[in-house]
Chains A and B, each alone.
Chain A
């Protein structure tokens, strides 16, 4: 009835191997996160207590509500920490394997660089660099395709946001040279 013989096949040549060794277990990350949250709860709790977490003549002081929330956050993180520590003795579940971590970093590092570039070069130049660079270096896509995609996408974004919808993005030296 339908033309299901037409198959769509997409391959992933750089897929992470299934037997890659674990970098860190979920339990360890959980303990780490709980410790961080505990520290955050303590910092925020202290700050709110300083602002004033009791009652004055007009009702609760500004720090009242957040102070008790910090206490709740601290309490539940502490509980989470204990649960994670007890469970830690058993067989560890993998948080991320080495191959997966490599792939995640392959996105995260360019994104970080993109944010930096946006700060200094403006968003449009940064987005051109990110798309072209990522497609070429991480995706191993032909150079001309990468450059073309990056130019077209950036141009569409520029026209849509800066011109059609008046949503102004951060700009850098290149746009300044063109008078924007």
Chain B
């Protein structure tokens, strides 16, 4: 029950007018970012990060995480009203959400989406509240070999479990790790890969890369498509909200199933996208009349939204407890921690109690405030889409440039951002995933330090990664995951059902 007391303390930290105001600002900005085409959770957080540079870490993280919740809520608005998923994880929401809007049940669908987002995040936050302190106190015993093994596990599971072509994931990840090493070497102080350039001396900043990769490239991609849209305007009345809430208990199985899927996929790097589809498909499979899905069934909104938000929130668990982000947005928040001078990792729970519990408390509060805000202001946000993209696009470009410049006050970073914009555009179009790149860029130096410290400790003996039960099992698991597709194939040949189902899919 120690967690409970600390959580109450966290609420006390938060309940000042200043933090509540920041929370509202963050939520509004987040919903805005989620509704606009060409911007999403990670982009929004990355672009707005510079706003928080001069705040104290607790206010900063409260505002940033509220931007994130807002963006998660905002994605559902465009999916349901316009059949345009604002985010990849909202795609499954369009299957039943848009038909509902066509039948004049937009308000019902929106209420369902927001409510289930809320429930999904709440389950995940509860998980974080009780599990994160346990994991981090366990991880306090970790030495460099254990940490390297955990990093290895993260990287390997991306390669082994990702749905993209394996060599493309490896390209993206090794490129990210390489670029993370540019600049001064933290162990020896020697310069690496700078080619005599004084600009490269500082290294390639992770946030600059993210702003380019996600912000600029997303604008280029959005312009390629037809931007015409046609959708329904909706306002939500209290009567609709109450009637949807009254029916909630009927769908508890769907909600619970999706929450569990979401939490699981959020902690492992499966991600919110996979979670939303899996939530939807399972709800459909277990339904008595699966053919009614896709024609405007409310469960078809509940299932993917709950899963996506549970996963988006659960992705913060490994970030807080171990310093390993479970999603792109979590990676950016991690980058933010470093800017504010906090060292992510298990020590965070010991050294910065106020910060950690303030953040967790803000997850509870932010979700409640967000739910109310979004239910009352949908019509305003839906009409943002009337603003022509020709006005929105240059504003996003300017915001990206401000964000990139502000991180290190360097003009070179604006050019770097532009370069990464082009790289992101090309990579997305030829199917090289960007998530492993982002993760590798933010974790690269820490992974390398952990590796070199373990090597120094063991005198260069790789057996150190199997030197005790804990590190040995993590390393072995990492290698199993790396070769998972091959292992799964072998199982299939032997005739194991799970393997055969996977190959027949």
Contact = CB atoms under 8 A, between A and B. Distances in A.
A96 to B, nearest CB: 7
Contacts of A108: 220, 422
A92 interface: no
Given A100-B224, A135-B394, A166-B54, A66 B240 contact: no
Contact of A115 (B107, B225, B414): B414
A143 interface: no
B226 A15 contact: yes
B224 A51 contact: no
Interface in B158-188: 165, 167-168, 170-171, 174-175, 177-178, 181, 185, 187-188
Say whether chain B's binding surface is mostly helix, strand, loop, or mixed: helix
Contacts of A55: 460
B32 to A, nearest CB: 14
B394 A134 contact: yes
A51 B192 contact: yes
B166 to A, nearest CB: 9
Contacts of A48: 192-193
A127 B398 contact: yes
Interface string B371-392: 0000000000011011011110
A85 interface: no
Contacts of A155: none
A55 B458 CA distance: 13
Given A60-B455, A76-B174, A139-B388, A12 B192 contact: no
A138 B390 contact: yes
A100 B190 CA distance: 45
Contacts of B429: 26, 29, 95-96
Interface in A1-32: 1-4, 6-12, 15-16, 26, 29-30
Interface string A61-98: 11111100110110011011001000000000001100
B486 interface: no
A33 interface: yes
B170 A96 contact: no
Contacts of B227: 10, 12, 15
Say whether chain A's binding surface is mostly helix, strand, loop, or mixed: helix
A39 interface: no
Given A2-B235, A149-B391, A66 B192 contact: yes
Interface string B212-255: 00001001100111111111111111011000000000000000
B97 interface: no
A7 B233 contact: yes
B394 A170 contact: no
B394 A130 contact: yes
Nearest to A146: B391
A26 B185 CA distance: 37
Contacts of B165: 83
Interface residues of B, number: 87
B57 to A, nearest CB: 15
A177 interface: no
A58 B108 CA distance: 65
Interface string A118-149: 11000100010011001100111100000001
A157 B237 CA distance: 36
A8 B382 contact: yes
B240 A2 contact: yes
A80 B432 CA distance: 11
Interface string A45-61: 00110010001001111
B448 A65 contact: yes
Given A4-B101, A11-B228, A80 B411 contact: no
A131 B405 contact: no
A106 interface: yes
Contacts of A79: 167
A29 to B, nearest CB: 6
Contact of B50 (A8, A59, A107, A161): A161
Given A4-B101, A104-B220, A168-B409, A12 B234 contact: no
5 contacts: A3-B234, A62-B185, A69-B178, A115-B415, A167-B50
Interface of A: 1-4, 6-12, 15-16, 26, 29-30, 33, 37, 40, 44, 47-48, 51, 55, 58-66, 69-70, 72-73, 76-77, 79-80, 83, 95-96, 100, 103-104, 106-108, 110-112, 114-115, 118-119, 123, 127, 130-131, 134-135, 138-141, 149, 153-154, 157, 160-161, 165-170
Given A29-B430, A60-B452, 13 more contacts: A1-B104, A2-B108, A66-B178, A83-B167, A95-B430, A96-B224, A103-B224, A111-B397, A115-B414, A118-B414, A119-B411, A130-B398, A170-B405
Q: Which 7 A-B pairs have the closest CB atoms?
A: A139-B390, A2-B107, A59-B456, A12-B228, A6-B233, A73-B174, A15-B226
